[in-house]
Amino acid sequence: GITNCWQKLCDWIYKHRITIVVYFSMCLDQILMTSIVPIIPNHLFNQETKDNITFQLANVSTKDDVGNDTYEGIEEENGKVGWLLSSKAIVQFAASLVVGPLTNRVGYSIPLFTSTVILFICSCLYSLGEQYWVLFLGRSLHGLGSAFLTIGGFGIIADTYQQDAVRSKYMGVVLGGLALGVIVGYPFGSVIYNYLGKTTVYAIQAIGLAFLAIGQFVSLEMTLNYTKMQQKTSFLVLLKDPYIMIIIGSIFLPAVCIAMLEATLTVWVMDKMSPEKWLLGVLFLSDGCGYFIGSHFAVLALKVGRWVVAICGLLLCSIGLIFIPMATTIPMIFAPHFAVGMGSGVVDAALMPMLALLLDTRYFMMYGSVYTIAELAFNAGYAIGPSVGGQLVNQIGFSWLLRGLAIFILLYLPLIYFLRDPPGKEPESTFLTDKEEGGKYNANEEVSPNPFNYGKLLEDD
């Protein structure tokens, strides 16, 4: 009956509570990150023209479908938009160097909860701030919150599910939450901004983050739990591993693609096509949908070969970058933009679980360190993409900016071949902690909870 179904649902939620919490944390983080992309160029342009009370300003404030004359000079916003968007990645890059070692010492729950509190503050700054420096502060603070979230989130999933196939499955689920946030964020930001204003966009997100914080506090252990390691792997040792660095490069390149498009595509479309404001968010919907689909290729990548799937993903990114500048209408952008998003999702789904596997087979299970490196690569892409892209687009043009990036990706592809069968560690190198080998994730074994080892909390479906 209904009671039985409700009990099964509650049991399922309790069983998968870690994955659910990380899923929605990633989702809301991406909504907060992407919703600002279609808003910022228009908001900054309007702020700068407020002091110039002219007939043109009156047209900007009263017309929805605006002509080229309304956005005259909009291309000058490329630099300011680029630096504002890249500020998050720059701060996130620096913060990751501290957060990674911290999670190896205190666990993953407190960093996850801390990230939600910081994101709540960011949403309040976005909602109430009008001046450039306030928005810049909010975007920068967002980088700190995302550093706690990404390293803590991927670390807790890797530690919870220690069988490679199961880990790949749930890593793909979490990436799906990230992709869902991308899909929702762009149109949510542009549509609500168009009809209700910027304040409403981020007030809604602040409410969602408040509920998420409550859910995290109830679901996660909020005590400090220091790991007891007999052996540790140096952060520098991981940086010197050629296989890890090839994966990092593969994650970095799609991040540059998406970040560069976020900073330049909106302004290019506004300059060339003069769309309605709500279309600026829908413009990025295809990218998000592509990433959402690509993020579910983790299990297929395990069967076919992760290196093969990663090559296919980067090829998709290159093809999309080549065809985007050829578009003359917004619908013509959708297909190549979808390809860029899907390629990025495929690469992440194939290689993010492989980082944890390399750590298991070649080193020791300090997941915070390896996902710190992945976070650094991702943020380097999001820092370089908007800042460098925003400057280069004025020098070489939008078309050659994307073509040059596509060529660089194609030149990188042969390196991924070396990921086909990376060697493991020597047999005598064994990882020993307070748990024995039998304490690892087991789908058919009931084990008592350990406050730091989340792998003992859950069972596989």
Alpha-carbon span 66 to 76, nearest angstrom: 18
CA distance 349 to 419: 15
Confidence at residue 425, expressed as pLDDT on a 0 to 100 scale:
58
- Given this model, what pLDDT does residue 233 score? 57
pLDDT category of residue 342 using cuts at 50, 70 and 90:
very high
pLDDT for 456: 40
pLDDT at 57: 43
Rounded to 10°, the helix 242-272/78-106 angle is: 150
Q: How many CB atoms lie within 10 A of CB 435?
A: 15
The encoded tokens of residue 56 equal 């043109």
Residue bearing the bigger pLDDT, 274 or 244: 244
Among 301, 312, 298, 300, residue whose Cα is nearest residue 254: 312
Nearest in space to 123 (alpha carbons), one of 48, 208, 40, 196: 208
Q: In this prediction, what percent of the chain has a pLDDT beyond 70?
A: 79
**pLDDT at position 406 over 90:** yes
For 13, other C-beta atoms within 10 Å of its C-beta total: 11
Is 302 in a helix, a strand, or coil? helix
Q: Which of 48-62, 306-320, 328-342 is predicted most confidently? A: 306-320
pLDDT of residue 459: 41
- In one-letter notation, the amino acid at residue 432 is L
* pLDDT higher than 80, residue 7: yes
Rounded CA separation 445/327 (Å): 55
Segment 369-377 shows an average pLDDT of 82
Tell me the CB-side half-sphere exposure of residue 350, using CA atoms within 13 A: 30
Q: Give the mean pLDDT of the chain.
A: 78
* pLDDT at residue 234, as a whole number: 66
Do residues 274 and 330 touch, judged by C-beta distance below 8 A? Answer: no
**pTM score, two decimals?**
0.71
Give me the percent of the chain exceeding a pLDDT of 90. Answer: 20
Q: Which of 267-276, 317-326, 342-351 has the lowest mean pLDDT?
A: 267-276
- For the ranges 121-125, 163-167, 223-227, 272-276, the maximum mean pLDDT occurs at 121-125
Report the C-alpha gap between 362 and 425 in whole angstroms.
4
What is the structure's pLDDT at 447? 32
Which one-letter DSSP state was computed for residue 1?
A: -
For residue 312 the two structure tokens come to: 């296919």
Q: What is the pLDDT of residues 99-110, one digit of tens each?
A: 888 887 788 888
The average pLDDT across 274-278 equals 70
d(CA 269, CA 265): 6
The average pLDDT across 405-430 equals: 78
More confident site: 47 or 147: 147
Q: Which sequence spans correspond to the domains of the chain?
A: 2-47+72-426
Query: Between 1.20.1250.20, 1.20.58.1690, 3.40.50.2000, 3.40.640.10, what CATH number should domain 2-47+72-426 receive?
Result: 1.20.1250.20
Per the model's pLDDT, the better-predicted residue between 62 and 304 turns out to be 304
Higher pLDDT, 439 or 283: 283
Q: Mean per-residue pLDDT for 278-293?
A: 79
pLDDT of residue 36: 83
Q: What is the pLDDT of residues 150-200, one digit of tens each?
A: 888 888 888 888 777 888 888 888 888 888 888 888 778 888 888 888 889
CB burial of 359-389 (b: ≥16 within 10 Å; e: otherwise) equals: bbebbbbbbbbbbbbbbbbbbbbbbbbbbbb
The reported pLDDT for the residue numbered 117 is: 93
